[in-house]
Structure 1
Amino acid sequence: MTQNTPLPPCHSVTARTAPRVLSAAQLKAMGVPAGRAVEQCGAGGPWQQPLPGVFVLHPGPLSGPERLRSALLYAGRPPASGRRAAPSRAADPAYGEAMLTGLAALSLYGFAAAPPVASVERVDVLVPRVRRLRSAGYARLLRTAELPRPERVDGLPVAPVARALADAVAGLGDAVAVRRLLTEAVRGGHCEPAVLVGELNRAKVLGRPQVVHAVDTLLAEGRAMAEERLYDMVRAHGLKEPLWNVDLRLPGGPHLGGVDAYWPDEAVAVELDTRAPRHSRLEGGRRQEEHEAEWSAYAARREHLERLGVTVVHLTPKKLRDAREQQATVVRTALMAAADREPAAYVMILPR
């Protein structure tokens, strides 16, 4: 039998109705043995095999989505033993625990700064560290000890935005491209700056020159966006208008620190936390020491204010984005509880 021998009618119907990209295992389940599939990929044949064990049921160039699906099928195929090792609940029947990451994932998420799916030269795929499968063709396998829980985009498993960004940045040397991707992530509301910084730490790219300035910029933009959300929350939920962005100081005493909103009659302060997560490991000993010192100073400042009778409400940008009504209730409760508390110490209020 040659590659030009037509498939039996049942196989012909299957080829027309099934997805145009299938693994050898999927074809076998449809009644097409591996040898027969390979025959169809010969010179002038109707099929092609762009990656080992993956078949495209048409000749000619692959579309962008076909490249993504074929890379996932290759990366997610079972080990040679045929047994998958304790798959997680997020495992896909066709792709196992494999998921798209890097520029291909960002393109699926709709990033304007990422190349179109069809133009992505390398399709990065996250796989468990225990997999021994090697990269092949345009499919580049990135092994990791801890797989994130994938999102579903266009029916495909995709790493969360922050992880996909970190993996993309790790492979980029162009400072302009890095800045555009990180800026779009924050401005477009794809992920919070602190979460992104944590992923960049994990990828060990924070110290790269093309990343340092971009991170400083996105953290500043992230704070501005968080402040805007705080303004919106206060006004949308009918909270009393506070004094915005002020410093607190004891008369003739030490500086108590700045707060993002303060209600002097109730002695309630709101502080936005736009720092990297408390337990993130920042790259470099000095950077880590500065991170720990920042957290210690924050905790000491908050404890000092509370000893003076000032209630400090701690809000994160993520909470303001995802649970604004709940955060408004927290602030309202703190304001209402002021009547039942002992009067706070007198503090001076200065512009920040």
Structure 2
Amino acid sequence: MYKELKAKVLDICFEDQSIQKLITDNGSKKAILYKSFTARAEVGSQILINTTATDLRLGTGGWDIVRSHLNNEQWHSNDGKGHIMKARYTPIQHSVAAVEAQESDFHPFFKKPFTLEGSPVWLAELHSMVPLFYYASQRMTPGVKCCVVFDDQASLPLMMSDQLRHLKEQEHFYSISVGQAFGAQYEAITVASALQFAKQVLKAEIILISVGPGVVGTGTRYGFTGMALSHWSHTVSALNGTPIWIPRLSFADERSRHSGISHHTLTPLCEFTFKPAILPLPYLNTYERQKVCEQLESYQPFQTNHHVYHAKEDLVSLLVEQVVNHSTLPILTMGRKYEDDPVFFCAVAEALRVGLELEE
């Protein structure tokens, strides 16, 4: 299915250097315009909007996407100085300056051997884990350089994320978009190159691999974007790093496949990951711990000997409360706040804490 409509811009409710948020007279009545490949709109502009996802009531936040202007004959952006194409062979393909490319000042770095030298790299299935992870890192180790590598398993244009646009303004936050994803502070072609750039060039002390908003699930065993975590884990292991999986935990999610420790963590970790990884679990009450242990046992034997750490005491909930209470933008997961599903939030902070402890 593909659907597009003509619309008129009634108002501009938000604008920065990368996007406009528009009020329109058609579709969902609100639309996002990406300034990388569409000329900015004015009130009264006639535009063409893609309404496919909003018609299907899918997770774009209820926003239509501006495809083009109806009254612009020619327009081009001078932002991209590189030759690496992203969103290739689509109407929005555009060139970016990838860090590995021959014209890049950083190109020589990628001709040399590289190793993570045992450094931890954290893996996060959901975009909602990213702001919590960053702000928790700044409370645990103030001033630490944190770099997030964004793979292309969810949103390709990262500028649609309010959280990420805000994080880009933070002094110690760095981002790299890889694959077909675009819009981070730096662009790369592969996860491996992004890890090398984060470590050798940015000198990041904390590295996280995650995705933008809009992950996909189908209620099946293997049909979900979280399967990419096994690939990330293998890449980290191949570069002699230590992959640390942030578990997707919940005791508020009513879907059985996500109750306790989600199968989105268990399936890629236990069935598809062939090099040892670390799975930290936050402090759980007796019922919660028993359920998670039973879920882990149901997947055994694992493909390899992963290291599962069970927290014996709660060392993170106070920190998490401070983070969510002082965050400029609300930190939610599946629409739930910390009070609704504290174990989800504590799982992120505990994984960070365990990884930092390993480096000491």
Length-normalised TM-score, structure 2? 0.26
Length-normalised TM-score, structure 1? 0.26
> Relative to total residues, which structure has the larger strand share, 1 or 2?
2
